[in-house]
Amino acid sequence: MKIITLTLTLLYMASNYVAAQDWKARYDEVGLFENGLAYVMKENEYGYVDKNGKEVIPCIYNAIGSFNPQGLVWVNKGGHVSEQSSGIVDGFFGIYDSYGKVILPVKYKQLGYFENRRSSDGNPYCKFRSIVGLNYGNSRYNSELENRTLMKNKGLAWVAKGGGCFDVHEPVPFIAEPFSQIDCSVANSFAFCNNTENPVPTKLDGKLIYVNELTRGKNKWGIVDTKGNILLPEGKFDFCYNPSEGYVPVVKIDNGIYTINYYNSNSKNLLFQEFKRTIAIAPVVEGKTMILDASGCQFVDMKGTKVGEVYDAVVPSDDEDIYTVYKEAKFGVIDKGGNTVIPMEYKLISTAHEGMMSYVAEDSSGKSSYGYMNVKGETVVTPQYSAVYHFENGRAKVRKGDKYGCIDGNGKMVFTCRFANIFSAGSKSQTIFFLQESKDGPIYAYKEYTDSRLYQNSFDNVRNYDRDYEGVAFVNKKKQDGNGELYGCVSSGGEMLIPCLCNSYEEAMQMYFNRMRDGFFHWDEIDTKRYDRAQYAKIKRYGLSEQIPESFWDF
């Protein structure tokens, strides 16, 4: 009886399983399930289904994307893949969430995402111009401002009388390729528009794509958040930018003159009665924004009233609620309320990084040197260096004459100033640095607070820690015969995870990934033999485990 009952139960389960899989026969193609959903295709139209075969997104679209980390996916109706761009052109776009809710109706010609725009990106507002007194002498801060430090802090960057730059986030066209993801990592919202202009072919990264003339103000964008709330209606303004504190910076262009206002996404009203002329975009931060006009830089409250002093330059810090300010050839520091933190009596004060700011002092002979102070203005490292760099993960590169060293947050020497170059820290757990002992010479690994090489292996180039994988730096060196280079990687503790054996960074990265996945955390002599044997057998997957046939393991 038990045997009969078990047999009937198995037959029942099998019949239910077959019945449960019948829905797959309705489609020409069924994708893999990820997070409970899979794409389906029938007669070249796409949608998404759950594990029971229920259509969460109807199978009616000509093209469809993959869900992004926020659980959103784009769809397109009426478009086609362009041979020139490999992206979807024409048709109408919309956005769904993973529950099948329509976040953005399928009626828009363009989707966009918010991207950092800096002075080098050609933003009409972001034209960085050096100002007398702001070239920062022999330090690297001028290039720092033009590059990494065009601040990620709250969307703010740099603004200065006579020219300025903010690290604003503005909408750019999303190039939709089948199963691509639309990015909303910078802002928790999307941009959209119904463009009427014909697309203009433009070269980007050597690849011909179609982009519309939004950078010339001919497309007018709106903004929707990830829940489907319209933050800015489409078609009102020439430019719009990433919302902050409920306000969207919006711009009108009249006869080449740029004016700014702020659209309140809650009240649906503009902040100012009239658009204000400015030459830089600033978001709303702590209930204030910044207006830059002929008189200089000044904070403006939510009533449009200018508050505080007028400065020639305002430089917000990355990680502190303070601003370095410049006026009448002197630097000082103010807080977010405009109150003086450090008096304006310095030849130079940098922005704050990890609670430290560099500054310049002159000796009795008029010679300038660099030191560091904390955000209270207290000296931590007395001025003694020819040039200094920002602190990164508790370490800062410094220079005396033409030789580099490294200090910690207490001013203690991590490495003495005797090196031609020190590669910057990339990992918080990093204790190993790569140093160049002579100009154009090889690169060696050094453990911090030591004055000798960790090992005698040298490298010709290093990709900083955490650039590709956390806690790993990929390295390369020239082959002994001088024909080409070999690649490997080093842990943040200095261990050679993969010696310089690989023929490309890509091969080294793939090998690292495979070895970590398979539990191979150390490189042994036997691994070198396995690699050599795999090369001999022309096996191109270098996990050095199950990928290599057993017959090649017998040495």
Dihedral over Cα of 546, 551, 554, 555: its sign: negative
Q: In whole angstroms, give the CA distance from residue 396 to residue 424.
A: 8
Measured distance CA(372)–CA(391) in Å, rounded? 10
Q: What is the pLDDT of residue 107?
A: 92
pLDDT of residue 162: 40
Structure tokens at 33: 């399930």
**How far is Cα 226 from Cα 222, in angstroms, rounded to an integer?**
13
DSSP symbol at 132 = T
Bridging pattern class, strands 37-42 and 29-30: antiparallel
By the 10 Å C-beta count (0-12 exposed, 13-18 middle, 19+ buried), 369 is classed as: middle
What is the mean pLDDT, run by run of 10 residues, along the chain of 555 residues? 49 48 90 92 96 96 94 94 77 95 93 67 30 32 34 36 54 88 86 65 37 48 92 88 89 80 93 83 81 78 85 74 82 86 88 86 84 93 89 89 93 94 76 90 91 88 85 90 89 88 88 86 83 63 42 37
Q: CA-to-CA distance for 118 and 183, rounded, in angstroms?
A: 19
DSSP secondary structure code for residue 464 in this structure: P
User: What is 318-379 written as a DSSP string?
Assistant: SSSSEEEEEETTEEEEEETTS-EEEEEEES-B---BTTEEEEEEE-TT--EEEEEEETTS-E
pLDDT, residue 97, reads 96
Q: Which of 461, 465, 471 is nearest to 441 (CA)?
A: 461
Nearest 10 degrees: CA dihedral of 51, 53, 59, 65? 10
Q: Which candidate, 69, 137, 125, 73, places its Cα nearest to that of 99?
A: 73
User: φ, ψ for residue 443 (rounded to 5)?
Assistant: -110, 135
Using CA atoms, how far apart are residues 231 and 135, in angstroms rounded to an integer?
A: 40
| pLDDT value of position 337 | 78
CB within 8 Å of 192: residues ≥ 6 apart:
93, 104, 108, 110, 111, 112, 221, 222, 223, 224, 234
CA distance 533 to 547: 12
User: How many other CB atoms are found less than 10 A from the CB of residue 10?
Assistant: 10
CA 205 – CA 203 distance, rounded (Å): 7
Centroid of chain to Cα 457:
33
Q: Which amino acid is at 414?
A: V
How are strands ordered across the β-sheet holding 403-408? 387-388, 395-400, 403-408, 413-419
Sign of the torsion angle spanned by Cα atoms 294, 300, 305, 308: negative
